[in-house]
């Protein structure tokens, strides 16, 4: 990949997109383009079509999505299904029509069945039913994966899908109504510490197991896919290591310095019992993560403290 190749990063202001932008810049890529949601709406087919026809990027990286945790997925199923399909369909179809040779589509580990064998292999896609609490988002992302696969098969273009495990890091969403588990915990433990180390109540039993990847490692995986022609259409991106939600809470409690009680609200849903990614395909090609969980949480908490006054709810990638 030439350093002056024109690379459009959709969702460049979000947590993942901004990390990709920063790391590509650090590696010497000089022709990056991005547009915020205020400049044009990725859900608008005509706007996306006109933008791609005018800019004619060599590569598109789709890091744009409507995202959120269990609560948000439960409350807004239609928006999570329809808006994500609109965003990705407009970008993928626009890329094909404008002869974009390389497209990197970012999804989520929630595309895999709820009770799929662990660790999750790429071939488990569409082999059983999904987790009900986030099936709307999962179905949208599955259609993106299969659309890129169809283009790859029919037109021979280098369109590849990367499915990350649970991501976290700088520029994460810390809004308690829409955030994922790790940033929500950081905010809860921080606020409880500031409130005299008050007890922290967390959803579920604490027994489900999850895997977490720092966002800079995800960005490095995207760069790896950019600089190499990967032989298959779908790759898992993760650490290959998981822990219980209880262990996660205790790690965040340690990093934030909270010393109060943790209360588990077992009336609230746990979600999928385990989601561990099999990342052997990417490892075999030469990519693997570098930042361990406690270090990543520390970096994320530092960013949270530096930006605490300006944090706001993110309902759609910027």
Q: Give the mean pLDDT of the chain.
A: 93
> Residues 76, 137, 233, 301: which is the catalytic one?
137
Binding-site entries for substrate: 188, 203, 210, 270
Confidence of residue 115 (pLDDT cuts 50, 70, 90): confident
User: Angle, to 10 degrees, between the axis of helix 45-55 and the axis of helix 77-97?
Assistant: 30
Percent with pLDDT over 70 in the chain: 97
Please determine, for residue 316, whether its predicted confidence score (pLDDT) is greater than 70.
no
Look at residue 6 in the predicted model and tell me its pLDDT. Answer: 98
Q: Using the structure block, give the residue that is written with the tokens 């180390």.
A: 197
Domain annotation for the chain: domains and CATH numbers: 7-171+211-241+275-291 (3.40.50.720)
User: Which residue spans within the chain are E strands per DSSP?
Assistant: 7-10, 32-33, 59-62, 102-106, 158-164, 166-168, 200-203, 209-210, 212-214, 234-237, 243-244, 262-265, 274-275
Please determine, for residue 57, whether its predicted confidence score (pLDDT) is greater than 80.
yes
Please determine, for residue 37, whether its predicted confidence score (pLDDT) is greater than 90.
no
Binding-site entries for NADP(+): 11-17, 106-109, 141, 164-167, 180
Rounded CA-CA distance 84/65 in Å is 6
Q: What is the pLDDT of residues 257-274, one digit of tens each?
A: 999 999 999 988 787 788
pTM of the model: 0.90
Cis before residue 235, ω within 30 degrees of 0? no
Alpha-carbon dihedral angle through residues 157, 160, 225, 19, given to the nearest 10 degrees:
120
Look at residue 315 in the predicted model and tell me its pLDDT. Answer: 37
> Is 233 part of the annotated catalytic residue set?
no
Strand 274-275 to strand 243-244: parallel, antiparallel, or no bridges (unpaired)?
unpaired
Where does residue 180 rank: exposed (0-12), middle (13-18), buried (19+ CB within 10 A)?
buried
First to last CA, the chain: 27
Rounded CA-CA distance 170/214 in Å is 9
Rounded CA-CA distance 137/128 in Å is 16
Confidence of residue 69 (pLDDT cuts 50, 70, 90): low
Look at residue 256 in the predicted model and tell me its pLDDT. Answer: 98
């Amino acid at each position: 990949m030439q350093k002056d190749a024109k690379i459009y990063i959709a969702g460049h202001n979000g947590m993942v997109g901004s990390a990709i932008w920063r790391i590509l810049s650090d590696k010497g890529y000089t022709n990056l383009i991005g547009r915020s949601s205020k400049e044009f709406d990725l859900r608008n087919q005509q706007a996306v079509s006109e933008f791609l026809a005018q800019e004619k990027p060599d590569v598109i990286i789709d890091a744009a999505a409507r995202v959120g945790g269990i609560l948000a997925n439960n409350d807004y199923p239609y928006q999570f299904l329809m808006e994500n399909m609109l965003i990705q369909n407009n970008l993928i179809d626009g890329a094909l029509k404008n002869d974009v040779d390389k497209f990197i589509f970012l999804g989520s580990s929630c595309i895999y069945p709820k009770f799929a064998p662990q660790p999750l292999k790429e071939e488990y896609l569409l082999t059983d039913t999904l987790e009900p609490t986030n099936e709307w988002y999962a179905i949208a992302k599955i259609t993106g994966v299969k659309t890129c696969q169809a283009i790859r098969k029919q037109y021979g273009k280098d369109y590849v899908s990367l499915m990350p495990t649970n991501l976290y890091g700088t520029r994460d969403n810390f809004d308690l109504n829409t955030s994922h588990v790790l940033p929500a915990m950081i905010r809860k433990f921080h606020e409880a510490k500031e409130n005299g180390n008050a007890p922290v109540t967390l959803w579920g039993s604490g027994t489900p197991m999850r895997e977490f990847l720092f966002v800079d490692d995800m960005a490095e995986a995207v760069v790896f896919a950019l600089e190499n022609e990967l032989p298959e259409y779908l790759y898992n991106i993760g650490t290959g290591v998981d822990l219980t939600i209880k262990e996660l809470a205790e790690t965040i409690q340690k990093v934030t310095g909270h010393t109060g009680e943790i209360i588990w609200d077992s009336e609230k849903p746990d979600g999928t019992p385990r989601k561990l990614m099999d990342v052997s395909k990417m490892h075999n090609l030469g990519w693997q993560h570098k930042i361990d969980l406690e270090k990543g949480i520390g970096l994320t908490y530092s960013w949270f403290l530096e930006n605490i006054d300006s944090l706001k709810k993110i309902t759609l990638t910027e």
